[in-house]
Structure 1
Amino acid sequence: MTDLRALFSSNDPIDASEAFTNRQRQWELVATALAEHLRHTSAGFDPTDLEAPRNHLIVFHGVGGVGKTTLVRKLEAALGGTRPAQWGEQVWGGHTILPVRIDLSRSAGTTFEDVVLTIRAALATAVARPLPAFDIALRRYWEAQHPGDPLDTYLERGGLVSRFGKALPQQTQSALSDIAQTLLLPGTVGSAVGQVTGALAGALRERRQTVRALAACARLAPLLETEPSLEALSFYPHLLAFELHRLPDDKKITPVILLDTFEDIADRHRDLERLLQRLVWLLPNCFFVISGRSRLQWADPALHGQLDHTGPAAWPGLAATPGPVPSPRRGTPGGRQHLIGDLSPEDCDDHLARRLVKDGRPLISPAIRAVITARSHGLPLHLDLAASRFLEIRRTREPQPADFDHTFPALLARALSDLTADERHVLRSVSLLDAFDIDLATRAAGLTHQAPVRRLTERPIVYENPYALWPYHLHGAIRSALTEADDHTDDRWTPADWHQAATRALAALGDQWVANVSLTPSRMLLVACLRQGLRLARDHRLTGLGWLIDAAYAYTDDSVWEPLTPPTTSASHLGLDTAADALAELLTAIARRQHEHRQRTADRLTTVLDSGLLPDELTEMALYYRAKAHKDLSQNDAARAGMQAVADIGGRLAPKARRGLANLARLAGDFPTALAAVPTLGWEGRHHRVLGDIRWSHADTAAAVAAFEAGRAEAEQHGAAGERAMMQVRLALAVSFADPVRADDELALAHQLLDGLDQRSNTLLAQVVALIKDAGTDGVTDRAQTLHTDIDNAGLPFLHRFVELALAFQHAVRGEDEDLAAVIDRLRALTATGDFAYFTDITHFMAGLPLPEPSTTRWTTSEDDVRSSWRGLVQARQEVLRAGN
């Protein structure tokens, strides 16, 4: 079909077509359901059975602009014999199919009378014979309700004559005359509908032989005797079903009635919906395709009393039945309700490429198509609006990709058009949230009752994933339209309204997290609340960080480091302007250090500190993690200064800072000072970790393993998955020198615990452990060189010393003196600042070599004891290798 708006928008000869993107899956659903219906109606089917369940329909629902009407039109054409090539051919086994599309939109002004007349007019053309039981009743109704307005005049005025011809008035008149003749009524009486129908009803009551063909319809006489009202008309489809069933085989036909825009007739009183549902129920030998924004609720028992037939027993195909795979949208409906999904990026690009064509080539460039596709979130309406904008811009200049990096107010108008005032209020409120549940949405909207939220979640603009933390989220295109497009509606929000809503949403998120912490703390909820809360606070420039401060500490406590950075709402949002900006950058820098060079981390944290935007409670966090970055960079003077500053503040991170100072003392070779600090650290200062690091450095494997096992158990008690993984890596490190077999098992567990935690330094340290475990075998040296490269890329130079220590163990075990001497030289260079200088001592101890000069290391036991222990580990490995050979 030609797009007339596009055709008349330019002087250029552009081929502007309403491109249809393949909906083959929907066609297959219709074809399968229709085939099942045909099998059912061909095998002992009784259309007058008013109690049998109904499954002769299929429903397509989806957000406005997703392409439902286009699909219905294509289905009409396909059922009439004109199918898109990709849909292939469908054989109906000799059945004649009559598609009848009816537009129920408000703009079409379709009444229930129009629906009934459209179906009958379509049959008049296709069957080409009267359907007397129905036609007599219809003629009686018409003359009673529309006196002086002939049926043919009404049909012509409503466009049905141009669509289906003039056969219907002729056939109803013919039916009237035939009945009058059958009953031997005088000619003048035969022209009076009331007298004919009265006589016919009497003949049916008396079971006269002359009307035996119609006597099979047991309910015809009561219908003819009932006042011909609109209510009575809604029962006449039963007569139509009767007539269709008794058509001769050569005239058999199956109408497929497509009711489009069904949402426009479903108001709160459901008056027209009740009539239409009755029509569908009474025409079980027709097949119905219904499209609308919301799923059909007829299987909901709660509608009992509003509609005639409700509940899953009446409409088994419409009942909501959860499937084995979670649906990304609202409700996984039963077998006959299907959500029209968004288009894939590939389909979007294909649609745009075929939408506007000049000289056989796509008019919209690939770069522009890519931007439109990304912005559309798969919504066809967005694609068509973008195509119109393309033509508008093209009148004056060449369109650019940046011209389409926005959404359209028309999407907002479509989304709001059929929502109540309360629902629109909730919709704007939840547009601030990435995802939500009923309680979160209610509080974000500032409501005291949940009903508007529940109604909104039934709308197709809200998707549902029942397995998600918060099950509901808005369609991406609608959310963008709400938050980015100009809102010209009468109840549009002011900037103050948006700010208040953001404040409510932030508070609601905090309340959910705080309530969870007091019950069963959930890391998933913490991270999710932080992601949404940081974005709200930053994008809406909310003052006061409130619960975000406590959540930030809870996030860093466990060393898991899930990504937190929320996307900016504007590409122009640069720099640090608010405390929320500073907090977002602080947590991002801390988490990203697992993927960035530590110097980059230190620089980012310095920028945050220099901004002066952080509250005092968070300043110590920036100082502490900058000090940790300095330690990893072997800038230990700066690290000590930072740790001391945090310890002096005496805040939440003081215990960790004291641990940091103890570790720095250990790195400088001052083990007694580090050991003396252990009793003061406690769980918060990770006392077992500090003790274990001291013990393995002395080759005291048993004591080190005991400390790390105690630390792992303590971490498990506190639910600290990150700390548990760190303890396991260090346990494997301590064991790797002494027991390679056990180390293999401990290392496997370490990798298991590290999985998903994003701890880069510990992951690399686990690779060092693997080298030590395999010391004495071939290939260790080559693997060490690869590991050096990975450490350089990570910006974790302190780990180079661990790799060299592993190589020293390898060469000492194998008696490779020259290689060992090279390792000692490299270690001496790496420890020239004094930190990790004791690693050089250890390499000498491993090989039984004298120290070239007195050591500055202060051990907790005698140097001879440490020397003996390290030499003993080398000799024990040599024995293991000899035994293996």
Structure 2
Amino acid sequence: MARDLRMLFGANDRSVAAEEAFTNREAQWQAVVAALTDHLQRVANPSFDVEDLASPRHNVLVAHGVGGIGKSTFSRKTEASLTHPGGRPEQWAAPGWPIERLLPVRIDLARSSGVDFERVVLSIRLAVAALGRPMPAFDLALRRHWERNHPGEPLEEYLRRGGMFSRFSNAVNLPGQLQSSLADVAQALAMPGTIGGAVGQLTTALVGALRERRQTVRALAGCSRLADILEAEPDLETLSFATHLLAWDLAQLPAVQRATLVVLFDSFEEVGDRTHRDFERLLQRIVWLMPNAFFVITGRDRLQWAEDGLQGQLDWTGPAAWPGLAGHVPGARTRGGPAVRQILVGDFSPEDCDDHLARRLAHNGQPLIGPDLRRAITERSHGLPLYLDLAVMRFLEIRRSGRVPQPDDFGDFPALISRTLSDLTSDERHVLRSVSLLDAFSVPLATKVAGLTRDAAALRLTERPFIREDLTGLWPFHLHQVVRSAIRNADDQTDDRWSEQDWHRAALRAQAALGEEWAHGPRRDRAVLIGVLRQGLRLARDFNLAELGWLAEAAFSYVSDSVWEPLAPPTHGHDSAVLSTPADALVETLSALARRQREHRARTVERLTAVIDSGLLPAELQEMPVYYRAKALRDIGRIQDSRLDYQQVADGGGRLAQAARRGLAQAARLAGDFPTTLAAAQILGWEGRHQRVLGDLYWIQGEPQRAAEAYLAGRLEAEQHAKAGEAAHSQALRALALAFVDPGQADDELDLAEQLLAGLDLRASTINAAIASLIRDAGSPAIDDRARTVRTELDVAGLTSMTSTLEVAVAFHQAVLDDHQGLNATIARLREQSSDGAYAYYTDIAHFMAGLPLPTGHTPPRWLDGEHTTRTRWRALVTARRDLLRTAR
């Protein structure tokens, strides 16, 4: 394993071993092996023609990924693995072909390497020199190019002082091979002596001989384009086309001496930008004109060669020319299609991150970074190798100070910003910072948030590897989490960094763009509402935006459907327990409403009370926490307090006034004032959910069939208004009502309720469905155990108001079985639960079902049709169930 000098020199402690830790890239290596295997099979096919310039090319594999992901390491390891067996990492499986017949050459295209196109071509020729054979066609063109462009400078002297060529052990042999090629041609043309400075004369004579098709030059006459290249001006353009001659020369070698050239271009993003493609065009020409060579290209970005829009900028473009580059799905092969030759060098797995950190630094053979700290760094890295490297450097820096590194020492690194922004245009950097405010974005949304008038910069940005794409998402693009966190939170020292005011202006643009997305975007459904609310709430809170604007309307839309998806956005150094702005108050309100499906209702009352007492919400929103506190108070049995809140909202005449009037009507029902409830229901309308109020009233009167009809009407109304939550709630209640009358139909209704509840977080409705299943199965074994389970769930949720309904279901079961002992216990529980006067009528119903007289001094409710009629109805339901069970036996 190689020594990591940067880490080694980062510590005074010589006992610290710093090694270059290579973490498994097995999937990418397998892609190289598969692509190279496919290439070798194509070249070995008798129909393969190295001079065919029209057929699609399959001789390139692209590995792309964000800066610092490990592409260069992967490129170096691949070169070593193709050079000699001992260079292959132990994790990589051996290929199925002998590497001895490969000629690998890795060329770093980074600006720091000082490479130019001429050096690229020379590096390729030096790799081929290992075969020990002249390449006569190409060597003539290369010698002519050298004589014209480097007059008086011997090639051997240039190679001796060119540092990048020192790694080629055969560099000293190349001038001799070129001279041998010239001598062979001179001899074939019967020209005297060693040519030396008379290359021009020799090539002129050779071109003439080729044109005249002389037998003396038949060995080169098979290269149909040699004469044209030798006649062309010997500049870089011609040199790029001359690589076709090298491909031809390699193809003429006897089979036993033939080898496959493998060229690895690294740091491909530095050959230019997407406007100036001169260098890229020359390199692409090499790839196309050398179809018998295989190319592995690593860089930050996908290659665009398969895009038709680049016609004119590059010589060969489009999916027909480069079928393997047309897709960018990670992996080695698409089902039923061509090999996919664009692979993503992705993030490390948590296991690979830990392995990487454990092996980078060691002390006495043990990892210097402990397991707990490695775990913390791994979590914050999100698998980005660059983050791991920066974390190791920070670890050494802190250790040098004499302090023990702690997890809190590893946050965001400014270096991530500079590495990410280094090759972006000014507009792309502007869009990148803008979209870092968003969880996800589309191209139009990114353009609006950036305040630009054209999509070009956003479109280019989406092609960058640190932008992840999810075609199933509401907005398809999102930033790599570590990159986003660094841009948002790290100390940005770049020249075009944003001030606090710049960030605030961008937040205002983002907020406006999200509101427009919801109000006028291509979709206006629940998913869009939740998406814009989550992002908009966080922006309003984190940037202390004074005006809530469209968020108020969106908040009412959110609560109107009673679905309760989680909304609380993640915090960025924000104390969620402190309410100091309207945005804080709105976030806390909606979070409390969503969380009440998983929290005790008493906790909901506490949270909403804190919002109400803060007085931060604007007047139009203030009724929201008051109304939902009233509901929570009712659920935990504080009926009088609940009524006061309902009355306050109803008197305010706001958007929830009609819902509050329904709450007052329900309060009258809880108190046993059924005529008042019935009268109120007549004027509630759809907004007051009048059908649900009627359904709740009718089944208590012993008319479950009539209640089921009302619930059905309520469900249909909800579906017409696209209110999925209300539809599911009404359906669960419909199943509950029908369970008293027809267990078979109730079974079907419960199936439908389960379908409607799927994906919704409606705890009370789900429990209603569970109670309905108990009523459906009344008279059957195991009811008691199931009832205890539901009772426990109600206690945990704080849904005290529903406990009495559960006890009525149990009483129905006991009455069917004529279980007087169990029934007496149930009646005792009902009496205890209704000690404050609410739900007292459930005690009456339990007596009615069992045919028992009411206790002396009992105050009855105001039944709609009188006590006798109601008693008769409930008793009839019990006897009907007994008859049904008897028949079933």
TM > 0.5 fold call: yes
* Equivalent position to 1:22, from 18, 21, 24: 24
Q: Distance in 1 between matches of 2:326 and 2:842?
A: 71
Partners of 1:776 and 1:810 within 8 A in 2: yes
Q: Distance in 2 between matches of 1:675 and 1:573?
A: 43
* Equivalent position to 1:689, from 688, 692, 696: 692
How far did 1:738 drift?
1.3
Q: Which residue of 2 is the match for residue 371 of structure 1?
A: 376
* Equivalent position to 2:433, from 406, 428, 431: 428
Q: CA separation of 1:160/1:201 partners in 2, compared to 1, >3 Å: closer, same or farther?
A: farther
How far did 1:444 drift?
0.6
Q: Which residue of 2 is the match for residue 723 of structure 1?
A: 726
CA-to-aligned-CA distance 1:733-761 (integer Å, 9 cap, x gap): 11111111111111121121111111111
In the alignment, residue 107 of structure 1 is paired with which amino acid? Answer: S
* Equivalent position to 1:400, from 402, 405, 408: 405
User: How many residue pairs are counted as aligned between the two chains?
Assistant: 878
Does the residue aligned with 1:86 lie in a helix, a strand or coil?
Answer: coil
CA-to-aligned-CA distance 1:673-702 (integer Å, 9 cap, x gap): 111101111111000000111000001123
Does the residue aligned with 1:100 lie in a helix, a strand or coil?
Answer: strand
Within the alignment, does 1:246 sit opposite 2:252 as a pair?
yes
How far did 1:322 drift?
7.4
Q: Distance in 1 between matches of 2:405 and 2:862?
A: 69
Partners of 1:385 and 1:408 within 8 A in 2: yes
Q: Which residue of 1 is the match for residue 848 of structure 2?
A: 845
* Equivalent position to 1:184, from 176, 184, 190: 190
How far did 1:559 drift?
0.5
Does the residue aligned with 2:863 lie in a helix, a strand or coil?
Answer: coil
Q: Which residue of 2 is the match for residue 594 of structure 1?
A: 597
How far did 1:179 drift?
2.2
How far did 1:405 drift?
3.6
Q: Which residue of 1 is the match for residue 36 of structure 2?
A: 34
Does the residue aligned with 2:683 lie in a helix, a strand or coil?
Answer: helix
Q: Distance in 1 between matches of 2:386 and 2:327?
A: 28
Q: Which residue of 2 is the match for residue 159 of structure 1?
A: 163
Q: CA separation of 1:452/1:759 partners in 2, compared to 1, >3 Å: closer, same or farther?
A: same
Within the alignment, does 1:490 sit opposite 2:495 as a pair?
yes
Q: Distance in 2 between matches of 1:839 and 1:323?
A: 63
In the alignment, residue 27 of structure 2 is paired with which amino acid? Answer: R
* Runs (5+) with no aligned partner, structure 1: none
Q: CA separation of 1:573/1:650 partners in 2, compared to 1, >3 Å: closer, same or farther?
A: closer
In the alignment, residue 207 of structure 1 is paired with which amino acid? Answer: R
Partners of 2:83 and 2:99 within 8 A in 1: no
How far did 1:338 drift?
1.2
Q: Distance in 2 between matches of 1:207 and 1:324?
A: 49
Partners of 2:395 and 2:405 within 8 A in 1: no
Q: CA separation of 1:334/1:616 partners in 2, compared to 1, >3 Å: closer, same or farther?
A: farther
* Equivalent position to 1:290, from 293, 297, 308: 297
How far did 1:356 drift?
1.2
* Equivalent position to 1:136, from 135, 140, 143: 140
CA-to-aligned-CA distance 1:459-497 (integer Å, 9 cap, x gap): 112111122110111111111111011111111111001
Q: Distance in 2 between matches of 1:204 and 1:735?
A: 98
Q: CA separation of 1:189/1:641 partners in 2, compared to 1, >3 Å: closer, same or farther?
A: closer
Q: Distance in 2 between matches of 1:505 and 1:779?
A: 56
Q: Which residue of 2 is the match for residue 819 of structure 1?
A: 822
Q: Distance in 1 between matches of 2:848 and 2:827?
A: 11
Does the residue aligned with 1:832 lie in a helix, a strand or coil?
Answer: coil
How far did 1:780 drift?
0.8
The 5-angstrom pairing of residues 390-539 of structure 1 reads: 390-516=395-521, 521-539=524-542
CA-to-aligned-CA distance 1:410-456 (integer Å, 9 cap, x gap): 11001111111111111110000000111111111111111111111
Partners of 1:260 and 1:291 within 8 A in 2: yes
Q: Distance in 2 between matches of 1:305 and 1:101?
A: 29
Once superposed, what is the RMSD of the aligned Cα atoms?
Answer: 1.8
Q: Which residue of 2 is the match for residue 274 of structure 1?
A: 281
CA-to-aligned-CA distance 1:573-622 (integer Å, 9 cap, x gap): 64111110110000000110000000000000011111111111111000
Partners of 2:712 and 2:734 within 8 A in 1: yes
The 5-angstrom pairing of residues 539-578 of structure 1 reads: 539-570=542-573, 572=575, 574-578=577-581
Partners of 1:774 and 1:780 within 8 A in 2: yes
Q: CA separation of 1:754/1:161 partners in 2, compared to 1, >3 Å: closer, same or farther?
A: closer
Q: CA separation of 1:326/1:465 partners in 2, compared to 1, >3 Å: closer, same or farther?
A: farther
After superposing the two structures, state which structure 1 stretch, 200-209 or 145-154, moved more: 200-209
In the alignment, residue 9 of structure 2 is paired with which amino acid? Answer: F
In the alignment, residue 210 of structure 2 is paired with which amino acid? Answer: L
Q: Distance in 1 between matches of 2:80 and 2:280?
A: 26
Within the alignment, does 1:72 sit opposite 2:75 as a pair?
yes
The 5-angstrom pairing of residues 702-851 of structure 1 reads: 702-851=705-854
In the alignment, residue 875 of structure 1 is paired with which amino acid? Answer: T
Q: Which residue of 1 is the match for residue 234 of structure 2?
A: 228
Partners of 2:844 and 2:854 within 8 A in 1: yes
In the alignment, residue 273 of structure 1 is paired with which amino acid? Answer: E
Partners of 1:319 and 1:334 within 8 A in 2: no
Q: CA separation of 1:528/1:394 partners in 2, compared to 1, >3 Å: closer, same or farther?
A: same
Partners of 1:353 and 1:362 within 8 A in 2: yes
Q: Distance in 1 between matches of 2:296 and 2:331?
A: 26
Does the residue aligned with 1:256 lie in a helix, a strand or coil?
Answer: strand
Partners of 2:728 and 2:757 within 8 A in 1: yes
- The percent of aligned pairs where both chains have the same amino acid is 58
Does the residue aligned with 1:444 lie in a helix, a strand or coil?
Answer: helix
How far did 1:17 drift?
1.5
Q: CA separation of 1:403/1:729 partners in 2, compared to 1, >3 Å: closer, same or farther?
A: closer
* Equivalent position to 2:313, from 306, 326, 342: 306
Within the alignment, does 1:663 sit opposite 2:666 as a pair?
yes
Q: Distance in 2 between matches of 1:178 and 1:88?
A: 44
Q: Distance in 2 between matches of 1:109 and 1:540?
A: 46
Q: Distance in 1 between matches of 2:487 and 2:26?
A: 31
In the alignment, residue 855 of structure 2 is paired with which amino acid? Answer: P
Q: CA separation of 1:325/1:207 partners in 2, compared to 1, >3 Å: closer, same or farther?
A: closer
Q: Distance in 1 between matches of 2:94 and 2:328?
A: 31
In the alignment, residue 805 of structure 2 is paired with which amino acid? Answer: F
Q: Distance in 1 between matches of 2:523 and 2:666?
A: 33
The 5-angstrom pairing of residues 633-644 of structure 1 reads: 633-644=636-647
* Runs (5+) with no aligned partner, structure 2: none
How far did 1:210 drift?
2.3
Partners of 1:590 and 1:625 within 8 A in 2: yes
How far did 1:390 drift?
0.6
Q: Distance in 2 between matches of 1:145 and 1:614?
A: 76
